[in-house]
């Protein structure tokens, strides 16, 4: 009895397949509707975009026309102010006739003559004037180039005898060197440096030689710096 009732029941075995197909169909319809809506929106915006492009095109043409007009005015102004180039023609040099050229050649005396030469009195006067000029020139004082230098002489430590250091520096003597005033300037930790001035003749005394001569005082001097250098 139960078996007969089951046989009469209708079972839809392929229902999942139909459900899947139906779902796919509705998805396609939704995509088509979305595309149609986008196209409709684009078609609605199209007239406004075309109108904007036409306006931009019109403005661009007006701008180009104005620029052309300005260029034409500028070209006309430049052409009216720039002068045309010209060439200056020099007059031709007059040519001497053959006879005149011959006369000029005849006037030239290559060897000179007694009438045109200097006499003894003129030669003597010229020699006297030349000797007087040379004597005057030799008495004129010659400008000697000099320099005023201030040197910083640094000792090894605070136990260095700075008076003895200054005395040793002043012992450096040569032609064209004149020592000036000196003073002690504090550095640090009780150490002082000797700041001493001098005047040197540039042609006779080299600054490099002077600084090396001071640095050779190795018992007193650690280093030498040029604090100031001025032409006198």
Q: What pLDDT, on a 0 to 100 scale, did the predictor assign at position 121?
A: 83
Residue 117 has pLDDT above 60, yes or no: no
What's the rounded mean pLDDT across residues 173-184? 94
Full-model pTM: 0.41
Are 221 and 164 in contact, with CB atoms under 8 Å apart? no
Q: What is the pLDDT of residues 55-98, one digit of tens each?
A: 888 888 888 888 888 888 777 766 665 455 544 445 555 565 55
Task: Report the relative pairing of strands 191-201 and 146-155 from DSSP bridges.
Answer: antiparallel
Structure tokens at 136: 């005057």
Beta bridge partners of 188: 191
């Amino acid at each position: 009895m139960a078996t007969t009732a089951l046989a009469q029941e209708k079972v839809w075995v392929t229902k999942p397949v139909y459900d899947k197909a139906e779902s796919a169909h509705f998805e396609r319809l939704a995509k088509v509707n979305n595309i149609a809506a986008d196209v409709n929106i684009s078609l609605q915006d199209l007239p406004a975009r075309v109108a904007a492009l036409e306006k931009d095109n019109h403005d661009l043409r007006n701008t180009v026309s104005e620029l052309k007009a300005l260029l034409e005015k500028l070209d006309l102004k430049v052409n009216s102010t720039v002068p045309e180039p010209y060439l200056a023609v020099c007059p031709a040099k007059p040519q001497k006739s053959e006879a005149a050229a011959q006369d000029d050649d005849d006037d030239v005396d290559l060897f000179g003559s007694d009438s045109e030469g200097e006499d003894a009195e003129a030669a003597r006067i010229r020699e006297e004037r030349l000797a007087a000029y040379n004597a005057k020139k030799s008495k004129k004082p010659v400008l000697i180039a000099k320099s005023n230098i201030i040197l910083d002489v640094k000792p090894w430590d605070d136990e260095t005898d700075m008076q003895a250091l200054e005395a040793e520096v002043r012992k450096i003597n040569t032609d064209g060197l004149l020592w000036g005033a000196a003073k002690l300037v504090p550095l640090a930790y009780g150490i002082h440096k000797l700041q001493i001035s001098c005047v040197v003749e540039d042609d006779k005394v080299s600054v490099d030689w002077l600084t090396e001569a001071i640095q050779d005082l190795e018992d007193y001097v650690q280093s030498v710096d040029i604090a100031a250098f001025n032409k006198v």
